[in-house]
Amino acid sequence: MKNLDQFYLKFQDVFEHLEQSNKKKTAILYAVASQVFFTVMYYCVTLLKGEYSSMQIINMRMILGFIFNTLYCSANKVEVYSDQSKVFKLLTLRGLLGGLNMTFVFTCFTLMTISDGSILVNTSPIWTNFLAAIFLGEQLSKKAFGFCMLSFFGIILVCRPAFLFGQSTSSQDQNQFLGTIYGLAGSLFVSLVAIVIRKLSKYNCKGAMHMQYHYFISIIFTSVILLTDSERPFIITFKFCYIMLILSFSGFVAQLLQSKALSLEKASIISPMKYLQVLLSFMIDIFVLKSEMFMTSMVGAGLIILGSVGIVM
């Protein structure tokens, strides 16, 4: 145990030195690595879909994430609870919004291919601009509005609505539409979380502190929902356990690295890195899952990425 602690401290010292010597490069490294871990997490969700509901997957992911985050906070002496009323309310709100975000996002990935799901849940820059104008008083420029419209056309191509692309009653097309709704709702909650985090930044709250509330609150409401759901029994198998362990650890590391990256460099530089996840997701769909690729999805992905990058630049 002592050797493990020494290794961890040396590992931490190396990255602290990198952060101090070259913040920008280290931040980009963290951002790229976080997208790799996010892609692994979403891939694991697709491996469990059909056998388990999104709520069952989220519940176990939050329990394991809470354990990982508690160990991290303990090792780094990070305070996880605040006695300031305003901060406590904001952290609680962040936890609720984060739980809703995870619910919608994971449901999206149980309905769609990993590539289509990734592009839809990463439309948050579109929502963030409108929400920042409403809640933070930030001005929405004509350029940003134009890029939002470009992304909107991309969303239509990914969604492939029946009234534009012809009527279909296949379950795949119905799932595509439902997955789009869940993916966009998830990205909306990502934007709401970003608004709350901006407010929390005034109080010097660390990312691990945010996550503790996110995990704890999500565990409570997913557990309540599962207790009232008697239709699908929660059967824990060896396959479920090892996939959930990889999924939860990947999600925890991804969020930690993303928070680190945003603390070192401007969001305008870090945010576009999330579209590496889209590229990785397309590669998994094509080469690993052998999923059918639609040209409309590829063109739509290009428009959404172009619009979103244009918004944050």
pLDDT tens-digit profile of 156-169? 778 766 545 555 54
pLDDT of residue 166: 56
pLDDT of residue 12: 63
| pLDDT tens figures, 209-240 | 888 998 999 999 899 888 887 667 778 899 99
| pLDDT tens figures, 30-47 | 888 999 999 999 999 999
d(CA 76, CA 97): 26
Q: Is the pLDDT of residue 138 over 80?
A: no
Element at 221 (helix H, strand E) = helix 207-227
Structure tokens at 227: 């207790």
Instruction: Kindly state the average pLDDT of the residues 294-307.
Output: 81
Long-range CB contact pairs, 80-86, < 8 A, 24+: 80/208, 80/209, 80/212, 81/212, 82/203, 82/205, 82/209, 84/203, 86/203
Q: Is 151 within 8 Å of 123 (Cβ atoms)?
A: yes
pLDDT of residue 65: 94
Q: Is the pLDDT of residue 186 over 60?
A: yes
Q: Is the pLDDT of residue 14 over 70?
A: no
- Helix residue ranges, H only, 49-170: 54-76, 85-111, 114-121, 124-135, 142-159, 162-165
* In the chain, domain spans: 25-312
